[in-house]
Amino acid sequence: MVKKQGVVGWLSTALRSGRSALVVAFGILACPMSRAVSLDSIVNLPAMGIPVINYTPETSWEFGAAAQGYFCLPGQQKTSIVQLDGAYTLKHQWYVNTLGTVYFGGRTPWQLQYRAGYNHRPTAFYGIGNQGTTGIGMLRSGLPFDLKRGYVDVQTRISVGGNWSVGPLFDFQHQHTGLPDSLTAHPTSTQWGLGIVAQYDTRDRVYYPTRGLFFKAALTHYERALGSSARITMLHIDLRQFVPLPYDFTWAWQFRSQCAMSAGDTPYPMLPGLGGQDGLRGINKSMFRDDLMMALQTELRIPIWTIFRATVFAGIGDVYDIHDWQWAVPKVSYGLGLRMSINRAKVNIRFDLARSNVDPRWDTANAYSFYLTATEAF
C-alpha cells in the first residue's frame, strides 16, 4: 500500500531519491549563464494579470489567474515571457505553475526555457491504447483516480547559425496515481532525465506567427542510475508552418509526435496523450494514451476588425502501441475560435469551441469543449 503524503513530504522524498542528478543537471544547464545582463538595458512591455477561465469535459469549469511579464533583452528582437499561474476546477482539481521563455542576445544568442509546477488532479483512467475503454470492462466514464504530480523542465539552446539552436535539457517528474499495479506500471514514480534538444525557427514572431517554419526535436533519457523508477527514452517532435495568404489571412499547420520507448513499464502519466487544449481540441487528453502519439492539425486564421481575428481548425491523430501495432479509426476534431490581441507582442486571448468524432457511447464524446486561454494551440 502506498502511503499518502502531502506536498512537503512528496518534495522531500523526491529530492532524496535524486539529489545527485539535480546537481549534475544544473551544472550542465548553467554553463551559458555566465554573461551578466544590465536591468537598465531591458526593453519592457507591460506586465499583466489575466483571469484563467477554461472548460473541457474532463475538468468542467476552471477558474484561476495568471501573471505574465513580457520584455526584450538587449541584442534581441524576440519577446521573452515569464508567467506564474494557478487554477481550481469544479471537479476539485488544482494546480500552480510557472513557465517562461527568455531570449538572450549578444555575440552568441541563446534561449532559456523552463516549466515547473505541482498539480492535484482527480481524473479517470480509460485504459491504454487507441480503443479506450473498449474490451476492458470499465464504465464508459473511466476508473476515477487522483493524480498528484510535480515537475521541473529546463532547456537551454545556443544559436549555432542558420536559424538553428541546440542545447541540453533536464527533466524531473514525480507522480502518484494510486492505480492498482494490475492496470499500470509504477503507480508512484520518480523520473530524472537528461537529454538534448534541437530547434529550427524562422517565424516572424513567437506568439502569433503569420509566416515561417518551426521545428523542434527533443530526446530525453531517464535512467535508474539517476534515481528514476523506470528506464525510459522519450522522443518529442514538433513541426509547424505558417503561410501568409491574401487579405491578411494565415494558414497554419502542425505535426506533433511523442514516443515513449521502454520495456513496457512507462508510468501512466508519462504516456503520450492525444487531446487537450494544445493537442486535438475537443478530445479528452486522458482518454487515449499509449507509447506513440501522432497528430496533425491545421488552422485558417481570419482577420475581422482591428485586434480581433477568427479561426477555423481541424485535426486528426491517434495513439499506438509500438510493441503491438493495432489500427483503429483515427480520431478527428474540429471547431471555431476567436482571438483578441492584448499587447504589442501579439499575445492573444484565445476562445475556442471544439468537438470530435469519438464514439458517442462514451459520455464525454460529441460534447463541446470550450477553451479560454492566453496562448495559441500552436
Residues 6+ apart with CB under 8 A from 16: none
The pLDDT assigned to 276 comes to: 85
Residues 6+ apart with CB under 8 A from 212: 201, 202, 203, 204, 241, 242
pLDDT digits (tens, 9 = 90+) for 358-376: 865 554 445 678 888 777 8
The terminus-to-terminus CA distance of the chain in angstroms comes to 41
In DSSP notation, 313-327 reads: EEEEEEEE-TTS---
The pLDDT assigned to 175 comes to: 94
Amino acid at 139: L
The span from the CA of 213 to the CA of 221, in Å, is 27
Q: Span 170-174, mean pLDDT?
A: 96
The pLDDT assigned to 257 comes to: 97
Q: Span 231-248, mean pLDDT?
A: 97
The pLDDT assigned to 39 comes to: 40
Nearest alpha-carbon partner for 195 in 28, 7, 16: 28
Residues found in the chain: 378
The mean-pLDDT minimum among 28-32, 174-178, 188-192, 340-344 falls in 28-32
Dihedral over Cα of 223, 229, 230, 236: its sign = negative
Domains with residue ranges and CATH for the chain: 7-373 (2.40.160.50)
Q: Span 313-340, mean pLDDT?
A: 90
The span from the CA of 72 to the CA of 102, in Å, is 9
pLDDT digits (tens, 9 = 90+) for 183-236: 888 889 999 999 999 999 999 988 789 999 999 999 999 999 999 999 999 999
Structure-derived torsion over alpha carbons of residues 52, 56, 58, 60, reported in degrees to the nearest 10: 60
Question: In the predicted model, is pLDDT for residue 315 greater than 60?
Answer: yes
pLDDT digits (tens, 9 = 90+) for 99-130: 999 998 877 789 999 999 999 998 888 888 88
The pLDDT assigned to 78 comes to: 80
Q: What is the average pLDDT score of the chain?
A: 82
Mode of pairing for the β-strands spanning 212-222 and 232-244: antiparallel
